[in-house]
């Protein structure tokens, strides 16, 4: 009974930490977007009705892509590649950092509804926070000057941030937390990596040889695809936004 209560308490604390990180990401995105809007003289709302609808659409696409996971030969089975950040990044470029964080969060909620969790929410936290470490820098840079060049610069910056942060966050927090919540020694997790790559013999080498390459591949591929297709999608997204603004102006 005591062990059960300890496990429940640990999980509740982790969920509270999870929600705290989610709130922090939303706060950062909201504050930055508001500052930029104020400087540009934009008095509109961050979330219009159309934005909410588009966020829902991009979230649905993101969760479908998230379910299509690709195993990697250099990483243990619990690290897989997916392309769910493509609609998140497109949404963030089109509608701002706040929209990007919201799509990221909705994607996680939808995945939990469809699949539940097999990682005591550690995997979901990892996907959300590491996804935000990619999308937020990219969309913040693009928000200042919306050109193909800044989209590329933002995407590269986001990839670097995701790789550095994701690698460190796995080593310092995620892997130890997963081991704690599952009652699994860290050595057992490291051994899963060793079975794939003999060079992996510690938490440090696990994140260097598995997590870092995964994030580089993911960031580079998502960035390349987004930059290629966003130019074609942008006129459609912007046209819808302009029509909404015209209707508002007509009513006034």
Residue 133 CA, chain-centre distance (Å), reads 7
**Strand ranges, E, within the chain:** 70-71, 80-81
For the chain, count helices (H), then strands (E): 10, 2
- The pLDDT, as a whole number, for residue 248 is 40
Q: Is 41 left (phi over 0), alpha (psi -120 to 50) or beta?
A: left
Measured at the alpha carbon of residue 30, what is the angle toward residues 247 and 129, in degrees to the nearest 5? 125
- The pLDDT, as a whole number, for residue 6 is 61
- The pLDDT, as a whole number, for residue 194 is 94
> For the chain, which domains are there?
2-251 (1.10.1760.20)
Q: Which of 184, 78, 92 is nearest to 133 (CA)?
A: 92
Locate 187 and state its tokens: 């050595």
Q: Which of 218, 217, 206 is nearest to 170 (CA)?
A: 206
Burial 139-151 (b: 16+ CB within 10 A, else e): bbbbbeeeeeebb
Per-residue pLDDT of the chain in tens (252 residues, 90 and over written 9): 665 566 567 667 777 887 888 888 889 888 888 888 788 777 677 778 888 899 999 999 999 999 899 999 999 988 999 999 999 999 999 898 999 999 999 999 998 888 887 776 788 888 899 999 999 999 999 988 888 899 999 999 999 999 999 999 999 988 988 888 777 888 999 999 999 999 999 999 999 999 999 999 999 999 999 988 887 777 766 665 554 443 443 333
The pTM score is: 0.85
């Amino acid at each position: 009974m005591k062990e059960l209560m300890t496990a429940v308490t640990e999980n509740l604390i982790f969920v509270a930490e999870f929600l705290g990180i989610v709130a922090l990401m939303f706060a950062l995105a909201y504050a930055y977007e508001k500052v930029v809007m104020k400087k540009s003289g934009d008095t509109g709302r961050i979330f219009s009705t159309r934005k909410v609808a588009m966020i829902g659409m991009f979230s649905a696409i993101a969760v479908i892509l998230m379910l299509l996971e690709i195993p990697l030969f250099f990483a243990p089975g619990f690290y897989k590649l997916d392309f769910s950040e493509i609609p998140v990044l497109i949404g963030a470029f089109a509608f701002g950092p706040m929209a990007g964080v919201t799509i990221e969060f909705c994607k996680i909620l939808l995945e939990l509804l469809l699949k539940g969790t097999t990682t005591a929410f550690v995997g979901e936290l990892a996907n959300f926070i590491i996804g935000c470490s990619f999308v937020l820098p990219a969309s913040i840079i693009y928000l200042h000057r919306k050109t193909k060049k800044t989209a590329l610069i933002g995407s590269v910056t986001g990839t670097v941030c995701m790789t550095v942060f994701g690698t460190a966050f796995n080593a310092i927090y995620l892997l130890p937390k997963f081991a704690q919540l599952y009652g699994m020694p860290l050595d057992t997790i490291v051994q899963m990596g060793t079975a794939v790559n003999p060079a992996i013999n510690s938490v440090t080498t696990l994140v260097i040889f598995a997590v870092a390459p995964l994030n580089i591949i993911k960031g580079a591929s998502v960035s390349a695809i987004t930059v290629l297709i966003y130019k074609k999608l942008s006129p459609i997204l912007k046209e819808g936004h302009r029509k909404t603004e015209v209707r508002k102006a007509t009513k006034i």
